[in-house]
Amino acid sequence: MSKYALLGYPLGHTMSPPIHKRLFGLDGKPDAEYEVCEIPPEKLAEKSEYLNSLNGYNITIPYKVDIIKYLDELDESARRYNSVNCVVNRNGKNIGYNTDCSGFLRSLEAGGAKLDGRVLQIGCGGVGRMMAIEAALHGADLTIVALPEFITGAKEVAEEALKLNPAAKISVITHEEISGEFDLLMNASPVGMYPNTDNCPVSEDVVKSCKCVFEVIYNPNVTKLMSIAEKHGIPAIGGMAMLVWQAAVAHEIWNGASCNDEDVEKIIAEMKAELTK
């Protein structure tokens, strides 16, 4: 029997098991096991034998970087971000991947959004760093908005992106400096996440100046940012899409599976319903 797991600490409530259960069904592996492996940092080295026994596993905070020293090889996606969220055991060799970037791009594509126009991104820590770099690599005219205390970090991300694409257009500003119209607004900040669901990372006027909204938050299903966008007839893509798509890409790596948009949309809808229970 195939065995997989999610590695992280602390994990609390995670959507990964029900998402992967549905995906294993589509893979023709309904009996595959998927465990939640909550390992404190001081115990990680002791679990290497267990991790090596798995067919594959996902990694979340705080191990996306720490896991690298236990792997045999890194895919280009993991090398680019020095971050791993998916490992496959291929003929005894553990290979690390980053499926966050693929999940991000697939969810944008499925939602009809593009990265080659004027893009306004709120925040760029964690997964936001990946989003900013991918935007720069895809030809966006990117504006990163950061709080004053995070401006230095945002400028470092911009410099990193420019090294990968010297022709990229990137500016870093504070919230007070936002002006003009944008093709895409991306929220990479935690503002609006449960339980602070009444918060929005930008003003309603800023939302109205954008043609499309991408929200990295998946709890709640519809954030304040998304509800404002929808009120003005602006398409909004929720974070659950990225969460499910990055999991679907993991199955492509693990099993050579291939999910179509319709299958993934069904799982996204099911997980949204699961979240509201």
- The single residue of 64, 114, 169, 277 carrying the catalytic annotation is 64
In the annotation, is 64 catalytic?
Answer: yes
CA angle 62, 146, 216 (to 5 degrees): 55
Q: What SS3 string covers the chain?
A: CCEEEEEECCCCCCCHHHHHHHHHHHHCCCCCEEEEEECCHHHCHHHHHHHHCCCEEEECCCCCCHHHHHCCEECHHHHHHCCCCEEEEECCEEEEECCHHHHHHHHHHHCCCCCCCEEEEECCCCHHHHHHHHHHHCCCEEEEECCHHHHHHHHHHHHHHHHHCCCCEEEEECHHHCCCCECEEEECCCCCCCCCCCCCCCCHHHHHCECCEEECCCCCCCCHHHHHHHHCCCCEECHHHHHHHHHHHHHHHHHCCCCCHHHHHHHHHHHHHHHCC
Nearest in space to 206 (alpha carbons), one of 121, 138, 124: 121
Instruction: Enumerate the active-site residues.
Output: 64
